[in-house]
Amino acid sequence: MFDGYFLFRRKKAWFLLQNSPQLVHASQLKISKAGLRAFQKVGHFIKPTTRLIQSFGRHATKGTCQVDEKQFKALLRGEEIPVDFQLAKGYVMLTLGTNRILGLGFFHNHAIRSQLPQKELTSHVMI
């Protein structure tokens, strides 16, 4: 799936950039940021970013959790939502209904807590 992309590390984050013949020319420029921040290291985990998940999550075949509006609002309030998964502790992709990819949750002890960006998803959000 990531054929055709460059993944490169900068400090504790990895960035994903579409490969193209023009990159040879652009490498002569002083670049302040390249591509999409795709992963970052959080403790022992390599955590995908919300924006990576929203761009590529449609290809996910496991580790996904579909929530309804009520559960989504609970996550936004900072509450955990109980789920019955046979998964190891770690990140899961959250979708609202089948198609709208929200970002990540963290699964542990039969519950998911939000890893969605709080600054961008305020209580004013129109779901």
Instruction: Give the footprint of other proteins on this chain (CB under 8 A).
Output: 5, 16-18, 20, 22-23, 25-26, 28-37, 49, 51, 54-55, 96, 99-102, 120-122, 124-127
Cα–Cα distance, 54 to 35 (Å, whole number):
15
Q: Which is nearer to other proteins, 42 or 87 (CB)?
A: 42
Q: Whole-number minimum distance, CB 97 to other proteins, in Å?
A: 10
Do 93 and 49 meet the contact criterion of CB atoms below 8 Å apart? no
Tell me how far, at minimum, the Cβ of 109 lies from other proteins, in Å: 28
- Residue 14 has φ and ψ, to the nearest 5°, of -115, 140
Q: Whose Cβ is closer to other proteins: residue 76's or residue 83's?
A: 76
Q: CA-to-CA distance for 95 and 19, rounded, in angstroms? A: 29
